[in-house]
Chains A and B, each alone.
Chain A
Amino acid sequence: MIRQQKHFLPGKYIRVIAACLIAIAFLFPLYISWNTSLLTKQNLFTYPPHLLPNWDFDNYIRAWHMGAWLMYFGNSLFITLTTLAIALTTSVLAAYALSMLHFKGREWLFFAILFVLMVPAEALLIPNYIILNMMHLINTYWAQILPYGASAFGVFLLRQVFLSIPSSYWDAARLDGAGHMRFLWSIALPMARPTLYTIGLYISIGAWNSFMWPLMVTSSPNVQPIEVEVSRLMISNSVDWRRLSAIGVFATIPLVIVFLVLQKYIIQGISRGEGIQG
């Protein structure tokens, strides 16, 4: 045993060092963005690259004045929160009906929801554009919200939770005079809280980070999310890299904060396979 331990020690350090190098590799691109955003002009075009910031916050001030960032942030926030509210509500109601109520065709309707997960999203792009065009919703917030108004995976996960509630709870609640809505609000939802957080988080991150769909269905900056405006500046190829990096940093920071605070639920979500939507 002693010999084995002695033999094992250097291995342990190599493992920690290798793991740290991997962590650094994953954080490094984020650092580069932050570093570039704080360089002076002379230090931007140098070889080898300048890897320590000059603390030139002027880039941030100039980047801030380059666009109506508050408006784009506001757009992203409105789209995200509205999608979240609608999708969570529809999922909760549907999951409740598919687990706590008993009616003919329940299993069939559940499979009709599950089937949604099997439809490849890319087949729906063009038809959905045409549908929204017929509804005169192109170039509005709603074009970016309504297609995500129901979450099949949300229904699936919430139904699993509701099915695990012992039937004696419902019997007791009914004896006390509670109806279904009361039971859902006071008993079922509190019991499903971790799952709600997970689903909510994935709907929100998906909505905030969505890019292709807003790019397709909007053309006016007034309703576009921040990602689309950032891509426009990027592609115009006319913006100083330091300012572009500053923009990248302030578009990324809200998500980094959300991640650090709610990491537990994000990891739970991935382990359950929720990331499919992302």
Chain B
Amino acid sequence: MLNISRVRVGTSTSGTPAKTSPKDGWRAFLLLLPAFAFVFIFVYLPAGMSLVLGFFHYHLAGVDTTFGGLTDFKEALTYPVFWIAVRNTLYYALLMIPTTLIGAVLIAFLIQKQTRIYAIIRTAVLLPYITPVIATTISWLWMFNPQYGVLNAFLGLFHIPPSQWLLSPAMAMPSVALYSLWHNLGFAVVIVLAALGNVPKPVMEAAAIEGCNSWQRFWKILLPFLSPTLFFLVIITSITTFQAFSQVYALSGGLGGPEYATTTLLLLLYQTAFQYFHFSYAATMAIFLVLIILIFTLIQNWLAKRWVFYD
């Protein structure tokens, strides 16, 4: 099985003579035209626009677009809800990243055996990942119901006092994270399983013969082997958590409440643009979101240089 971190973006490996011909040039132009038309109109052009949009006051319905300079940036930086959204987005990422990593590694170790029963269990773990978010949040909203929900009933079995879940400002974000974990963990588990399949058997056997116990084998051998995959997971999980929208929207009734507790940057961006029709302000928020992702990625890369072991 291939793993993205192992794929080399190399040049041609096929043995066809690498001579360029004008005939091929025309063919290539025709074949590449459709893909590049889409890529240009819906990726390059908007990417360029996103950089300048924040400096203008853009109105959809005919009103003249005026140059606003840095007013939108200033407005964003002084808007308290914006900072709450920044904090919530980071909080959500911090809830999701460690739980996804630890959960995925634990579950992958538990179910890695190639027997029939484990194959069925693997199917069950991955199934939520492909279910539609809105349709499955219905079930979770009912499970989170403080009065009649099954989660409080479950806690009651262990004499743990009931929680208000999505209705309490303190528990709302962890509740959303619990849903997302259920929905996305299977994806991470499959990635860890693929990596476990690549760990060379002789190394493990040699370690066992040398007298390493399973605890030492895990920390000293498996974890270093898995570290590139885990790093890949950290990046993927942070990207998907920064993009979280559907589950936050559905579980908070489209509002991001209670008391802004689940207002993430993307939800605020949506509300700003499509409920208050303040487009350039929303575009400014997108720039901040991209900056946060950039800073996060740089920190992760810096950490990876110190921790990740590449063979």
Contacts and interface: CB of A to CB of B under 8 A. Distances in A.
Interface of A: 15-16, 18-20, 22-24, 26-27, 29-30, 32-33, 36, 44-49, 51, 89-91, 93-94, 96-104, 106-107, 109, 112-114, 116, 119-131, 133, 146-147, 149-150, 152, 155, 160, 162-168, 170, 180, 205, 208-209, 211-212, 215-216, 227-228, 230-231, 234-235, 237, 241, 244-245, 247-249, 251-252, 255-256, 258-260, 263, 266-268, 270-273, 275-276, 278
Contacts of A30: 127-128, 131, 136, 139
Given A150-B38, A235-B253, A131 B45 contact: yes
B308 interface: no
A15 B131 contact: no
Interface in B111-151: 111, 117-118, 120-121, 123-143, 147-150
Contacts of B246: 211-212, 227
B283 interface: yes
Contact of A23 (B9, B34, B120): B120
B293 interface: yes
Contacts of A97: 27-28, 31-32
Contact of B39 (A32, A150, A162, A256): A150
Interface of B: 1-4, 7, 9, 11-21, 24-25, 27-28, 31-32, 34-36, 38-39, 41-43, 45-47, 49-50, 53, 58, 60, 107, 110-111, 117-118, 120-121, 123-143, 147-150, 153, 156, 182, 185-187, 190-191, 194, 232, 236, 239, 242-243, 245-246, 249-250, 253-254, 266, 269-270, 273-274, 279, 282-283, 286-287, 289-290, 293
Contacts of B293: 120
11 contacts: A23-B120, A32-B142, A45-B147, A47-B148, A102-B24, A120-B293, A124-B43, A131-B45, A256-B130, A267-B126, A275-B129
A271 B126 CA distance: 13
Per DSSP, chain A at the interface is: helix
Q: 3 tightest CB-CB pairs across the interface, nearest first? A: A273-B4, A127-B46, A33-B139
B16 A150 contact: no
